[in-house]
Amino acid sequence: MRLAALLTLSLLSACAPGSNPHDAAQVSMNRPRDATAAAPTSLPGPAFAATTPGRVQRSNTEIAQDFMDLEFRMESGRPLPVLTRFEGPITVALRGQVPPSAQADLSRLLTRFRNEAGINVSQTGGEAAINVVFVPRRVIRATYANVACFVMPNVSSLEELRAARGTGLLDWGSVRERRKAAVFAPSDASPQEIRDCLHEELAQAMGPLNDLYQLPDSVFNDDNFHTVLTSFDMLVLRLHYSPQLRSGMTQAQVAAALPGLLAQMNPGGGTGRSHSGGRTPPAWVKSMELALGASGGAGAKRAAAQRALQIAQAQGWSDSRLAFSWFAVGRLNIGQDPVVAAQAFGQAARIWRALPGAQVQAAHVDMQLAALALSQGRPDQAVAFADRAIPAVRRAENASLLATILMIKGQALDLAGDKAAARAVRLDSAPWARYGFGSDAVTRARQRDISALSPSRLSMAIRG
């Protein structure tokens, strides 16, 4: 499930949890990143560096448990009886009002599926196993409120989806082998939001249907810090389409095959644990939904974040869920108590920096700290936090976060009196902002908001 965020001093790029409105459907709650966004620009997006696959730095025992938790349960907690997948070659087609950026991002993603996950998948202009149907955002919202993209089984168009309601065809639990699925994505979102939908929804159309908050290195996580598929995600998909597995296998059968498969695919694995395992208590999820959701007063949100932190501590967690709880406390105290906010961010960063694959989460903390330093008139610190975050954000291919960090750095350089360097950084941010935010108008509005940060306006919120 992919969710978006309204972060007090940041952003269109971190994410907040939500709920699955349809137990039988796999729905991505990727709310539009900016309600004021204009239609996506048709100009070319920025060039991301080539993805370099790496060995997943976690123990194979833990990866095996994660795989089982992802494969045999829905996000709602509902169990799935058997493994399901497409058998044979998979074809993908783009349908409807296809945005200008979609084709290049799909081509790059399909290449990654083939090279990193070993999946026999290709694009077609004819009948396809998976149809990515682009429709206006309003059409998606009319189907599921507050949802930006979602995937459904056994249909290939919006008309088929509407006709299938109430028939049982949309129930993933009744599927025994995947033969047809449709991803419904917004045609009028930013290029990055469209790309993010392609990554998570195609991965879930082909692979696991669950998300797990405890995963530090995966898009299969409702915290939404990762926006493109990671090495862990590709390993999960490679396992999912291993010749030793097949549709209809039970949990026991899959569990018996995993140790040998992981020994081949991830030789040696890693050591130690990155999370405490177990199902995440609904009370923690509900508290995080309130803390980082779009509705509710500031006081209620801070109280909810504190409840989530207390639950995380009572559970004995030392994983990404505890870090995310600290992050929420920090985010919600920026305007209320910057000292508490900085301390909470420090706790979150300490945990994330120790977890494999959590560098982008730590970069989100640095972005928050950079904005906080800027608002307090400490430009040198703001630049230092930004410089520490930028490499991880580039590797994570998060254009909207990168653009925001560069804007903050540019404003800090301006405040320090280095006008030439500030102009250069702002120019560098432009293509990332265009891809991440969707229009030059939204980019200019974001820059105005960041420029307005000053020690006398600590509580100003950057529009999310």
CATH number at residue 333: 1.25.40.10
Cα 407 to Cα 129, 205, 404, 412, distances in angstroms: 42, 36, 5, 9
Q: Indicate if 290 and 371 belong to the same structural domain.
A: yes
Q: Indicate if 329 and 243 belong to the same structural domain.
A: no
* 246 pLDDT more than 60: yes
Which phi and psi (to 5°) does residue 14 adopt?
A: -90, 175
Token pair in block for residue 176: 């025994």
pLDDT tens track for 357-399: 999 999 999 999 999 999 999 999 999 999 999 999 999 999 9
Whether 318 is in a domain gets the answer yes
Q: Indicate if 139 and 82 belong to the same structural domain.
A: yes
Q: Is the dihedral of CA 286, 292, 295, 301 positive or negative?
A: positive
pLDDT at residue number 21: 31
Whether 407 is in a domain gets the answer yes
Which phi and psi (to 5°) does residue 95 adopt?
A: -125, 165
Q: Please count the structural domains in the chain.
A: 2
Cβ contact 168:130 at 8 Å: no
pLDDT at residue number 277: 86
Q: Which of 265, 297, 322 is the last residue of a domain?
A: 265
C-alpha torsion angle, residues 417, 420, 423, 424 (rounded to 10): -130
Q: Which of 207, 233, 265 is the last residue of a domain?
A: 265
Whether 360 is in a domain gets the answer yes
Whether 419 is in a domain gets the answer yes
Q: Indicate if 194 and 230 belong to the same structural domain.
A: yes
Whether 275 is in a domain gets the answer no
Instruction: Count other Cβ atoms within 10 Å, centred on residue 178.
Output: 20
Helix axes 191-206, 419-437, angle to 10 degrees: 50
CA-CA distance, 272 to 342, in Å (whole number)? 29
Q: Which of 216, 231, 265 is the last residue of a domain?
A: 265
How do strand 130-135 and strand 181-186 relate by DSSP bridges?
parallel
Q: Choose among 35, 61, 300: nearest CA to 189.
A: 35
- 164, burial (CB in 10 Å: exposed 0-12, middle 13-18, buried 19+): middle
Whether 20 is in a domain gets the answer no
Strand partners of residue 210: none
* 53 pLDDT more than 90: no
Instruction: Say whether pTM exceeds 0.75.
Output: yes
Cβ contact 403:429 at 8 Å: yes
Q: DSSP of 32-47, one letter per residue?
A: -S-TT--SPP-S----
Q: Indicate if 205 and 286 belong to the same structural domain.
A: no
pLDDT at residue number 393: 97
Q: Indicate if 389 and 261 belong to the same structural domain.
A: no
* 16 pLDDT more than 90: no
For residue 360, give the 3-state DSSP assignment. Answer: helix
* 42 pLDDT more than 60: no
For residue 336, give the 3-state DSSP assignment. Answer: coil
Helix axes 251-265, 60-71, angle to 10 degrees: 140
Which phi and psi (to 5°) does residue 45 adopt?
A: -85, 180
Alpha helices in 231-319 (DSSP H): 231-240, 251-265, 282-292, 298-314
Q: Indicate if 204 and 326 belong to the same structural domain.
A: no
Radius of gyration of the chain from its Cα atoms, rounded to whole angstroms: 21
Strand partners of residue 182: 131, 152
Whether 406 is in a domain gets the answer yes
Q: Indicate if 69 and 41 belong to the same structural domain.
A: yes
Q: Indicate if 258 and 402 belong to the same structural domain.
A: no
Give the range among 110-114, 269-273, 458-462 with minimum mean pLDDT: 458-462
Token pair in block for residue 75: 């996000």
pLDDT at residue number 371: 94
Q: Indicate if 214 and 341 belong to the same structural domain.
A: no
Query: Where is pLDDT greater, at 54 or 21?
Result: 54
Write down the residue that tokens 């406390």 correspond to. 329
The percentage of residues in the chain with a pLDDT greater than 90, rounded to a whole number, is 76
List the CATH number of the domain containing 258.
3.40.390.10
276 pLDDT band, cuts 50/70/90, is: confident
Buried-state track 247-286, b at ≥16 Cβ within 10 A, e below 16 = eebebeebeeebeebbeebbeebbeebbbeeeebeeebbb
Name the residue range of residue 74's domain: 26-265
* 80 pLDDT more than 90: yes
pLDDT at residue number 54: 78
Q: Indicate if 295 and 222 belong to the same structural domain.
A: no
DSSP letter (8 states) at residue 166: T
For residue 147, give the 3-state DSSP assignment. Answer: coil
Q: Indicate if 185 and 303 belong to the same structural domain.
A: no
Mean pLDDT of the chain: 88
Whether 3 is in a domain gets the answer no
